[in-house]
Structure 1
Amino acid sequence: MTTYTIHPIVMGTKVFDKGMMTYQHDYGTPFTIPIFCWYVEGGDKKILIDTGEMHPVQSREREEAIGGKIYTFEDGLALYDLRPEDIDIVIHTHLHNDHCENDYKCTNARFYIHEQELETIRRYHPLDFRYVEDYIYEIEENKQIEIVREDGEILPGIRLMHTPIHTPGGMTVFIDTPKGKAAITGFCVIKENFEPPLQIRAMEMEVIPPGTNINSYEAYDTMIRIKEMADIIIPLHEPEFAAVTTIG
């Protein structure tokens, strides 16, 4: 059985209202989230999940807010003696700009993207301004995209699940690690979404959907399924991982 370790690398941040993460809760609370690129180490392929921001804001204030260092794409990969051209596979949780701005640098990679996400980036709804088709122009031109149409294993120990919660083509990535099955969520949440505070659980809510979602009921039900399926939940923007070098 192939197992992997997961290395979170912060390649950007956003400062906004916490309600953007926690549906119907904590509006008006300033919050800083890290934007991650995840290096999945193991097997014979060099694998990334998402590629982060092209020009991240690197400041003492942002780093203090998330509790970890912010890297450029090249410097982040260099932590593991990698260059962009060394990457074999990139799996996209979704195609909002902050998750794919460095795609063009990975000239030798195959990109796994759900078909609905590719449709959406070309014809997105006016409510969702986070799509910028230019960021995948080069990988489309170079025919580097592997279109994902159904759930399944793409490599031994790495399975993709369509989770249209935050976007129509979001994909959660399940990864076998020495410590159990990890799930990197295909939607933008923090730890609190999966582990709500007492006052939320008192309302008989087991999870909190993302603050930006395409169907709150389906988001809630899908998050419950993921919680039951995984041993390790890795919310896509959880600040505690900014200070972590290895998961699993």
Structure 2
Amino acid sequence: MMQTWKVMALKMGELTVEKSTLTYNQDFGQSMVIPMWAVAIYGGGYNILVDTGIHDAQWVRNHVAPCSQEDDEQIVTALKEGLGWGPDDVDIVINTHLHYDHCGNNKVFKKARFIVQEAEWAAAHSPIPSQAGIYLPELFDSVDYFSWNFVQGDAEVVPGVKVFPTPGHSEGHQSVLVKTEEGRLCISGDVANLLVNIRENIPAGILTSTKDIFSSMQRVRQLADRILPGHEPSIQKYQTCGFPSLK
């Protein structure tokens, strides 16, 4: 029988945003406080990290949105307190995409190999104008180029952990499918910022393609039993089970 994995949600701070940036053409004028999630995958012979949070809360406050971050919401401290890991214990980093809040601490993981869609790498270095301010090349170019694995489409990372393209929020966005004891869990990144996106078929507000994100959300529903959305407030810090059902 194929190995099952454990997962842990690691909170990387909070943003205060206009809700309409999360729910397409809805909720204008409403503010919302949202968490930023990284996720550890462990218990199957490899230590895997999905996304790495923000690099500097003050930079976020100055350039994007109001931001708060507790001490244990910084990636190194979160990994130590949640799992007892140091940076060199991480074998694989999967970036769902390369926006600033998903790859901010990539450079910390000197011994890891990094996995991203080739289309996202290209888009990050030549973004559409509306996304130029949320790609910071120094956050991903600081990783040794030879540590990157550029994938095209569906790819098995290790047995029981796969990535699959979910474009729409960004051109090369991918999500992660993990075999767990509770079924197939999708670590969605921002194809679903919130649970309401995937349950009520409401796209995110920040998009490269509205058409693509509808198709991507449908693929998530087809593949996954449960979901851990990229900015869902109902998820708890260090949560390891009981993630929201899609069935």
Same fold flag (TM > 0.5): yes
Contact 1:10 1:69 in 2 (8 A): no
Q: Please say if residues 69 and 242 of structure 1, whose CA atoms lie closer than 8 Å, have aligned partners that are also in contact.
A: no
Q: Point out the more displaced range, 48-57 or 129-138.
A: 48-57
The amino acid of 1:116's aligned partner reads: A
Whole-angstrom distance in 2 between the partners of 1:186 and 1:165: 12
Checking the alignment, whether the CA contact within 8 Å between 1:32 and 1:62 is kept in structure 2 is no
Q: Is structure 2 residue 209 aligned with structure 1 residue 215? A: yes
| 1:158 pairs with 2:152 | no
1:79-94 equivalences under 5 Å are 79=81, 80-94=83-97
Does 1:136 find its partner at 2:136? no
Per-residue deviation at 1:239?
1.0
Cα separation, 1, equivalents of 2:211 and 2:168: 9
Q: How many residues align?
A: 231
Partner residue of 2:119?
Answer: 116
How many angstroms apart in 2 are the aligned matches of 1:11 and 1:56? 10
TM-score, length-scaled by structure 1: 0.87
For residues 82 and 219 of structure 1, do their structure 2 counterparts lie closer, same or farther at Cα, with a shift above 3 Å needed?
same
> Using the alignment, how far apart are the partners of 1:17 and 1:138 within structure 2?
31
Match of 2:17? 16
Q: Please tell me whether residue 194 in structure 1 is matched to residue 195 in structure 2.
A: no
Q: Indicate conservation of the 8 Å contact 2:13/2:67, yes or no.
A: no
How far apart, CA to CA, are the structure 2 residues paired with 1:6 and 1:247?
8
Identity percentage of aligned residues = 30
Pairs within 5 Å for 1:1-248:
1-56=2-57, 71-79=73-81, 80-128=83-131, 129-141=133-145, 143-187=146-190, 189-196=193-200, 207-243=201-237, 245-247=239-241
Offset at residue 154 of structure 1 (A): 1.6
- Contact 1:47 1:90 (8 Å CA) reproduced: yes
C-alpha distance in structure 1 between counterparts of 2:186 and 2:122, whole Å: 25
Cα deviation for residue 70 of structure 1 reads 5.4
Q: Give the AA of the match of 1:236.
A: G
| Secondary structure at 2:202 match in 1 | coil
Secondary structure of 1:173's partner? strand
Residue 244 of structure 1: CA displacement?
A: 5.1
> Which whole-Å CA distance do the structure 2 matches of 1:124 and 1:217 have between them?
18
1:174-204 Cα shifts (integer Å, max 9, x gaps): 00000100011142510111223xxxxxxxx
Give 3-state SS (helix, strand or coil) of 1:241's partner: coil
Query: CA–CA distance in 1 between the matches of 2:147 and 2:112?
Result: 7
TM-score of the superposed pair, with normalisation by structure 2:
0.87
Structure 2 unaligned spans of 5+: 59-65, 243-247
Match of 2:236, SS state, is: helix
Structure 1 segments (4+ residues) deviating >3 Å: none
Contact 2:11–2:238 (CA under 8 A) maintained in structure 1: no
Task: Tell me the alpha carbon deviations over residues 61-91 of structure 1, each in whole angstroms, 9 at most, x when there is no partner.
Answer: 978xx9x985111110102110112110000
The Cα of 1:46 is off from its aligned counterpart by 0.7
Secondary structure, in 3 states, of the residue corresponding to 2:122?
A: helix
SS state at 2:134 partner: coil
Code of the residue aligned with 2:49 in structure 1: it is L
SS in 1 for 2:176: strand
Query: Contact (CA 8 Å) 1:10, 1:35: kept in 2 or not?
Result: yes
